Structures are given as C-alpha cells and as structure tokens.
Amino acid sequence: MQDPTKMGHRNGQLGKDIDSVIDRLCYVERQLGIITPPTGSPATSAAGAPAALVVDEDGGVHPRLAAYDEHVARTLVPFADACAALGPEMEKIGSSVKDVWAGMRLVVELGTAYKKPSGPAPAAVQSHLKPCQDAMSSIQKARLDRKFDWHIKAIMEMLACVSWVVVTPPPSPAIFVKDTVEASDFWANKIRKEYKGKGNEGEGHVRFCDAMKALVLDLSAYLKEHHLSGLAWNPRGKDFAEAKVGEGGGVASGNAKKAGPVVTSASAPSTGGSAGGVFAELMKKKTEDGSSAATGLKKVTREQQTWRKEYKKDDGAAPVKPDAPTKPVTATKFGAKKTLGTPKCEYQERGCKWIIENQTKETCEGGVCKVTVTDAKQQVYIYNCENATVQITGKLKSIILDSCVKLGVIFDTAISACEIVNCKSVQVQATNVCPSFAIDKTDGIVVHLTGNEAISQTVFVTSKSSEMNVSWVDDDGEVKESPIPEQFMHRLVNGSVTSQVSDLYH
C-alpha cells in the first residue's frame, strides 16, 4: 500500500502542472481572440448589438487592430507631418497615404470579424481594396511641382506594400513589405543626395525620406507579429460572403490605448463542447473554492485512452484505420543563396567568343575577372555571374550579359552593341564608344558613358525593364544622371497610335 503522504504530494504536483497548462492555454486563447465570454454574458459590440467581436469597458479593440492603430500613430502620423512640412501640395499627398492605410485597416478589421473565405482568399479580398486603390489613384493623378517628381515616385514604389493583404507564403507578407524599401529608397536616395546640406529646407526633405522608410519597416514588423502567414482570420467569425466593400467588421474604431482581452463569436456557447467553455469552468472552480483546477476530474482508464491498443469503442465499431501519412513537400527556403555552377572564363575559337560563367567575387582575383580581347571580331558572353566585376580590355564586336546579379562590366569599345537580358542590379561602363545598348527584362541598371563620342552616338532600346538610368559627363566636366523612361502615354491620332514619354520624366 502506498504512503498517503506521497500520494498527496503527487496529486498536489499534478494539480499545479495542470493549473500551469490551463493558464498558458487561456493566455494563448486571449492572444488568438477565441476566448468564450463568461456564462450568461453574450458577446456584444460597443454599440450593444450582437457582433463577432467584443470590446472591453475601456473601449479596447481586437489585439490585431489595436496593434495596427499603434503602428499608425507611431509611424504614419509622423510621415503625414513630414509631407505637410513640404507644403500644401505634399500635405494632400500625405492625407491620401493616410486614406490608403485607413483602407488597409478595414481589411484587417474584416479578418478579425469574418471567417476565411471558402474560395481563394486573395480573390475574395481584392474587391475590398477599392478604398486603397482610389487613394493611390489620386496620388498618381496629382499634378505637383516638378521638384516633387522623385517624392511621388518613391511614394508609389512604397505603396506596393499594400498588396500584402493578398500575399500568401512564400514569401511571408512581412518579407514582401520589407522588400519594397529597396524600390522606394532608389528614389529617396536621390532626394537625400539632392537636398543634403541645404539647411532647414533640405532637412525637411530628408525627414520625409526617413519617415517613409520607417513607415514601411514598422508595417513589416507589425505583419511579422500578427499576420506572419498571411491576413489573419477569425475562425469563429461570420461568413465572409456577408462582408460589404468599404465596411469593416462592425467593431469599435479609433486608436485604442488597450487591446480588448475578450474577443469571440456571438454564437459560441459559454460552456460545453468548446475548449474555451471547459477552461472557463476549470478556472471558475479554481477561483471560487481555492482548490486545484484538476479536482473532481473523471479518471480515464487504459481502455478509454484512444492512443492505446487496448482502446475499445462504446458502440463496438471497429476503429477506423488512419490514412497513411504523406511525406511533406519540402519547400525551398525563401532567401536561400542560389548555387552557381562551375566558374568558367575561356575563349572558344569556334564563334570567336569569350565565355564567362558563374563568376563571383570569391572566384575572381580581387573580385575582378579580366579579359583581354586581341581581335575586333571577338565577342564576350557573360552568364549567371554575381557580385563581381568583369573588365574587358581591347576593341570587340559585342557584349552580352545574361541572368547576372549585382555585376559590374567595364569595356573600351564595342563595334556592334551591348545587350543586357534577365539581369538585376547591374552597372555597365563604356569608356569609349558603344553605339547601342539593348536592355530586356532587366530590373535595376545604370549605364555609364565616359567617352565624349559615346554620348552623341549611343542609342538605348528597352523592353520589359525597370529602374534604368544613364550617367554621363557634360561639357563642364560635371557628372549627370537621368532615368530612362519606362512609362509612356499612347493615343489614337488619325487612325494610328502615337506615343510620348509620361509627364513623370519631364
């Protein structure tokens, strides 16, 4: 026979362990917004009508909404103030950006009140982005002073982050939003360079750039905490088919100082089958009589433990054999460094071509791959190189860059052309003459022209590319840089289509 004191000690320790588990589960439920309200108190909205969400006595809202409002107060308001400091024109732009964030809040609010749509969620949410789209359209159509061209371009690149509500991993919405910083910084850095050291006026423009970057980074941090795997939904909410465009979930709006700790569905029972009801009863017993939350629980015998082979169903039916587990599909880790092939730098007699492949700063001496061309008929083909520099000496026929990332190419004279295809973040410098640059499916390229003859003879042919810039030295010896237009306006005139460069580049 066991010692009663030891049995009491074990029961006491077991009770403490169960109490700890219950406390942790209750905390998790509060964070997820699925705690069942106390018995006899139906879930009601701030207005007193039944709703999918409950607000507390202090006017608090769902934790996700409260965190979003804190994000707005922390970074969106300073950004709008920075816009207003630049003048009335930019003040209107700042107000439109606030409208975009207000539209995003409506979508977040829908997620707190409704279940995930039965069909594809991105397609279902798309129509609810109309308030955001209208505000973005007003920014794009704004006609401001030309000195604000870079500001508008930076804002439009930044506003691409709104699409996080229809993004499903991979990548996660937080990473997707953070990636827009690089695109907006392309124009913001131009603003910083233009207004650096220009007193109070320059400080206002730099403050605008810093506030815009802080806004995006803070939104990314918010999504990482509350919407890591996409827009979060309420598993006990209403049917999403009832949601109307331009309306939230029917919860309290405004900035809340404290998030509501109780958030649940109105139709959920307070006790019984739900896990929230069981935990509520256990916690009630614990607080009323001071006994352990495990006191009075029914003992489960070996025959009733479903995971044992001795388990027997009450109805005598044969246990259902579970389906064979399927091997999970291993997804490629997002952001993983791609594996390059064998580095190659060789000359092929057939075709008179230099082949440069898979070069990096580690495979090249000093990060520079040097090629000396001895015949003007020779060509250079550069493929799949990354984080390196290719220096070509001598006069050659043509150069082709294919599928390269963060690569720099320096050459003297190309008789025919230099082609850049499927590249990203590359720089090409012609120290003498190159009559033609063909840029196709490339994002981020700067062409440097340092020879006086090259400036007047060079032609650029572009297609399906973005973030293109050309840099040259003017007659005064000053370095100039200008974007190559990627946006055009087309009209039907006398039965034919005419095109001209968008006003953004004027």
In a domain, 279, yes or no: no
Q: Which helix (H) or strand (E) holds 109?
A: helix 88-113
* 217 and 69, same domain (yes or no): yes
pLDDT of residue 246: 64
pLDDT of residue 96: 92
- SS3 at position 209: helix
pLDDT in tens, 465-494: 999 999 988 878 788 889 999 888 889 988
Q: Please, which pLDDT band fits residue 353 given cuts at 50, 70 and 90?
A: very high
CATH number of the domain within which 221 lies:
1.25.40.330
**Residue 410: domain span:** 344-505
CATH number of the domain within which 419 lies:
2.160.20.70
- SS3 at position 490: strand
In a domain, 322, yes or no: no
In a domain, 90, yes or no: yes
Whether the full predicted model's pTM is greater than 0.85, yes or no, is no
In a domain, 203, yes or no: yes
Q: Which helix (H) or strand (E) holds 151?
A: helix 149-158
Q: Please, which pLDDT band fits residue 163 given cuts at 50, 70 and 90?
A: confident
In a domain, 378, yes or no: yes
Coarse DSSP helix, strand, coil percentages of the chain, rounded to the nearest 5 percent = 40, 20, 40
Q: Whose CA is closest to 96, among 127, 60, 142, 58?
A: 142
* 220 and 348, same domain (yes or no): no
DSSP state of 386: E
Query: Higher confidence at residue 328 or residue 198?
Result: 198
Q: At what angle do helices 173-195 and 149-158 cross, to 10 degrees?
A: 170
pLDDT in tens, 251-261: 433 333 333 33
d(CA 415, CA 452): 16
Q: Which helix (H) or strand (E) holds 216?
A: helix 199-226
Q: What is the mean pLDDT of residues 254-279?
A: 40
Instruction: Give the count of domains, the chain.
Output: 2
Average pLDDT, the chain: 77
d(CA 284, CA 295): 12
Out of 218, 242, 266, a domain closes at 242
pLDDT in tens, 325-334: 544 444 444 4
Q: Which helix (H) or strand (E) holds 439?
A: strand 436-440
In a domain, 178, yes or no: yes
User: Which residues are paired to 114 by β-bridges?
Assistant: 238
d(CA 228, CA 172): 6
d(CA 453, CA 94): 45
pLDDT in tens, 99-131: 999 989 988 888 888 888 887 777 788 888 888
378 φ/ψ angles, rounded to the nearest 5 degrees:
-75, 150
Q: How many other CB atoms are there within 10 angstroms of residue 62's CB atom?
A: 28
Tell me the two tokens of residue 151. 């500001």
Is the distance from CB of 471 to CB of 480 less than 8 angstroms?
yes
- SS3 at position 429: strand
Q: Whose CA is closest to 192, among 173, 211, 179?
A: 211
Tell me the two tokens of residue 324. 């064979």
* 220 and 83, same domain (yes or no): yes
d(CA 39, CA 289): 18
Tokens 């009663």, residue located:
4
In a domain, 3, yes or no: no
pLDDT in tens, 45-103: 333 333 333 343 344 578 888 899 999 999 999 999 999 999 988 999 999 999 999 98
Out of 242, 259, 284, a domain closes at 242
* 76 and 216, same domain (yes or no): yes
Residue 255 amino acid letter: N
The distance from CA 440 to its chain's CA centroid, rounded to whole angstroms, is 26
Q: What is the 3-state secondary structure (H, E, C) of 63-96?
A: HHHHHHHHHHHHHHHHHHHHHHCCCHHHHHHHHH
Which bin fits 307, alpha (ψ -120 to 50), beta or left (φ > 0)? alpha
Q: How many other CB atoms are there within 10 angstroms of residue 225's CB atom?
A: 12
Out of 222, 242, 262, a domain closes at 242
Would you say how long the chain is, in residues? 506
* 225 and 350, same domain (yes or no): no
* 87 and 203, same domain (yes or no): yes
Neighbour-count burial for 74-110, b at 16+ CB within 10 Å, e otherwise: ebbebbbebbebbeebbebbbebbbbbbebbbbbbbb
Q: DSSP of 169-194, one letter per residue?
A: SSSPHHHHHHHHHHHHHHHHHHHHHH
Q: CB within 8 A of 14, min separation 6: which ones?
A: 294
pLDDT of residue 17: 72
* 218 and 362, same domain (yes or no): no
In a domain, 389, yes or no: yes
Which bin fits 56, alpha (ψ -120 to 50), beta or left (φ > 0)? beta
